[in-house]
Chain A
């Protein structure tokens, strides 16, 4: 077993885990933060996207022990009480989701895209979304939501 400590959504957490525990398993099964989804488990779909030290990463392809000492933000860490994060609000406003399975990853990736490209145009957003798959929406409204978010 390995001891791991990190900050998740502003809260210090620590646990003894098997070294092979994935960050997403730690988040979902140990911390019970089930907003972060596992779509493919093969680094393709981006449903598991979280922020680690401010950068978007696929938590299904990271060991929990690799996040030792890191600041992790999941979808649960975005809203302030009842007030949605501007990216979440924009997904709602622009109808950027249908079944919602990909949405936590899309929102986390969207925030990361706008952080790196504050005035991202449509082409940039589409290129930057290559690591996030959606089986429902056809992407159009997701792209609109990310471009128009008041972040």
Chain B
């Protein structure tokens, strides 16, 4: 790891100030992605600005219509929250499938969404539930947030403050974990929301995406057989030593079927 300066932010404003006065500063949340990247010298920020002491970025609020999760809330806290379990059980389950217990104790929802790994789990929930990402500057709708491989709508120096998930009528998440890393080879969340049925896929493409054909079929009839014959095109899907694009396309249908059955 190359040398850097370490700063503790006391508030969101303080973090933004420290970020803008640094040469090439980066926010540090749980460090579960950033620190391994720095160890490999794939990232070499001049300054790290740690959000761990910004306490108002941590915590979960539930009202009648939505679950709002602070950016610095850990995967473990989302998974084990009785309120999340009651309001959106699929979201609690998803958080409990991320990595392993030690990763879940440190990794945060804000870090995961800022990073937007193609195989990350949270993007499926953000897309399927139609969540809103709140930053220091604005609110970004899920459908406008994911732009490509590790690419989001976030501007340079923009900070995620919280994520708001509308409570669905029902939802379920099914993940086919990559056997070594446990990231999603393919993950599908299916949700019946106030705005209709939404089906979102992670792991298969450069970033999370919806499957309109499946949404239509499930609107006509919400049953596993409605999606059983809907194949998505393998074109542009991820391909690596773990799975071909064709196999990932196939898994999308299988995981969607299972998610509908569970919802």
Contacts and interface: CB of A to CB of B under 8 A. Distances in A.
Interface stretch (A56-64, A75-83, A90-98, A135-143): A56-64
Interface stretch (B101-109, B155-163, B232-240): B101-109
Contacts of B150: none
Given A20-B2, A20-B3, A61 B105 contact: no
Interface-central residue, B100, B103, B105, by most chain A CB under 10 Å: B100
Given A20-B2, A63-B31, A130-B182, A112 B39 contact: no
B225 to A, nearest CB: 30
B196 interface: no
A131 B107 CA distance: 14
Interface in A106-127: 109, 112-113, 116
B31 A61 contact: yes
Nearest to B80: A116
Interface stretch (A5-13, A27-35, A38-46): A38-46
Contacts of A56: 101-102, 105
Contact of B48 (A19, A43, A57, A61): A19
A148 B221 CA distance: 48
A42 B33 CA distance: 10
Nearest to A53: B105
B6 A49 contact: no
A65 B35 CA distance: 13
Interface residues of B, number: 27
A57 B52 contact: no
B76 A55 contact: yes
A49 B101 CA distance: 11
A2 interface: yes
A66 B50 contact: yes
Contacts of B48: 19
A128 interface: yes
Contacts of A128: 100-101
Contacts of A20: 1-4, 38
Contact of A63 (B3, B6, B36, B80): B6
Given A57-B106, A61-B35, A62-B35, A130 B100 contact: yes
B5 interface: yes
Contact of A19 (B4, B76, B105): B4
Given A2-B6, A19-B4, A56-B101, 12 more contacts: A20-B2, A43-B32, A43-B103, A46-B102, A55-B76, A55-B105, A57-B102, A62-B35, A62-B106, A116-B80, A130-B182, A131-B100
25 contacts: A2-B6, A18-B3, A19-B5, A20-B3, A20-B38, A41-B39, A43-B32, A46-B100, A56-B101, A57-B102, A58-B103, A58-B106, A61-B35, A62-B31, A63-B6, A66-B28, A68-B8, A109-B101, A113-B101, A128-B100, A128-B101, A129-B100, A130-B100, A131-B100, A131-B102
Interface of A: 2, 18-20, 41-43, 46, 49, 55-58, 61-63, 65-66, 68, 109, 112-113, 116, 128-132
